[in-house]
Amino acid sequence: MSETKSKDIQLVHVNAQSGSYDVMVGLDILSEVGPTARRTAGGNVAFVVSNTNVNPLYGEVVNRSLSDAGYTVATKVVGVGEAIKTMSVLSDVLECMADAQMTRDDLIVALGGGVVGDLAGFAASIYMRGCHVLQVPTSLLAMVDSSVGGKTAVDLVHGKNLAGTFFQPSAVIASIECLTTINRQLFTDSCGEVLKYGVMSDAELFRELERRPINEGNYDLERIGKIVKRCIEIKRDVVDTDEREKGLRQILNLGHTIGHAIEAESSYTLGHGSCVAAGMCFIVRACAKRQLCPDEVAQRVVSTVERYGLPTGSNISTDSLYERALADKKRHGDFINVVLVRDIGKVEVATLPVDDFRVLIEEGR
């Protein structure tokens, strides 16, 4: 269910088992952060976690909005990129929260992309056994995926997102004009996750993405806002049904097992969305070969991924991808859960013996 709150702000209501909240999508809505925090979380201290790219751009408007709403504002600025999503940075954030005399009634505002959101969300979930968090995603990937649904994490030496919690935010504010300050390469990378939503659940969304790439020419913010909202609705429908990834939520991992393997093999130099796009192409080609979906489906997915300027495969060896997949969270003993494509907008989760998954990787080349 979604509704219009006012002319400019679209609301998507998330009703997960452990908490309900609104995702607000609109243009120039960062000034809503303070009033939204007051309405949904309360408290006295707002602890903004941001990074060295985003804070200079949007820190001031967010801080002002929080002060105007009666908060004492403290800010922690972390570095940029996946490399900072560590236990040691998490520990530093927690100490700074204690320095700011935060209580469990207060809130963190996560202002940035997926890395900031995951880190700040994790900090909020464990500080004094849990305070509030307001997610303010500024990247496309964070808007359509990581800020919604309550997954929080840091990376371990052994892999990405291996320590984390499920912890739903008090609200999410996606202010679409923030996307204009993201470099085009990063925006393009995030399109991998956007395409995933179309392939996974919505043939009409996929047709719209196919019609004209959203990363081409000048950004059409109104169109992008509608697409962001649609992706959030799809994710909401999944999370409302299965918050803890016991069943349906696994479909969000379409392309991710091979994608994570490519990401790790590239030492995280290739972006997450690009790796998911490549992983999805492996899967859809293998599905067509196994006659699980028509050839035309594989052709449409691969050619659209290509039109967006994203990778459609990888020259990393099957053995290397397979070894990485064995370390994946989706492996259970000798079996691994894989999201298979049956049509555009239709997928299913299959449990395959790991040996068969190796064959699937080979078939997907």
For residue 319, give both structure tokens: 């053995």
- Binding track, positions 35-64, relative to ligand GLY; x by CB under 6 A: ------------------------------
> At closest approach, how far in Å is the CB of 364 from ligand GLY?
21
- Single out the residue of 149, 146, 151 nearest to residue 165, CA to CA: 151
> At closest approach, how far in Å is the CB of 150 from ligand GLY?
8
Count of residues of this chain found to bind ligand GLY when the rule CB under 6 A is applied? 6
For ligand GLY, give the closer residue by CB, 146 or 304.
146
> At closest approach, how far in Å is the CB of 255 from ligand GLY?
11
Q: If 0-12 CB within 10 Å is exposed, 13-18 middle and 19+ buried, where does residue 180 land?
A: exposed
For ligand GLY, give the closer residue by CB, 22 or 106.
22
**Is residue 323 within 8 Å of 315, Cβ to Cβ?**
no
- Output the residue with the shortest Cβ distance to ligand GLY: 252
Q: What is the dihedral of CA 159, 165, 170, 172, to 10 degrees?
A: 20
Question: Which residues in the 123-162 window bind ligand GLY by CB under 6 A?
Answer: 145, 149, 151
For ligand GLY, give the closer residue by CB, 97 or 239.
239
> At closest approach, how far in Å is the CB of 192 from ligand GLY?
12
> At closest approach, how far in Å is the CB of 311 from ligand GLY?
19
353-358's contacts with Cβ under 8 Å and 24+ in sequence apart are 354/322, 354/325, 354/326, 357/257, 357/322, 357/325, 358/318, 358/322
**Is residue 331 within 8 Å of 353, Cβ to Cβ?**
no
Question: Which residues in the 239-278 window bind ligand GLY by CB under 6 A?
Answer: 245, 249, 252
> At closest approach, how far in Å is the CB of 22 from ligand GLY?
18
For ligand GLY, give the closer residue by CB, 34 or 114.
114
**Distance from C-alpha of 296 to C-alpha of 343, rounded to nearest angstrom:** 9
Give residue 16's Cα distance to chain centre: 17
Residue tagged 């909240």 (tokens):
21
> At closest approach, how far in Å is the CB of 64 from ligand GLY?
31
**Is residue 141 within 8 Å of 190, Cβ to Cβ?**
yes
**Distance from C-alpha of 135 to C-alpha of 33, rounded to nearest angstrom:** 9
For ligand GLY, give the closer residue by CB, 34 or 271.
271
Residue tagged 């043939």 (tokens):
203
Question: Which residues in the 188-247 window bind ligand GLY by CB under 6 A?
Answer: 245
For ligand GLY, give the closer residue by CB, 249 or 260.
249
For ligand GLY, give the closer residue by CB, 43 or 114.
114
What residues make contact with ligand GLY under the rule CB under 6 A?
A: 145, 149, 151, 245, 249, 252
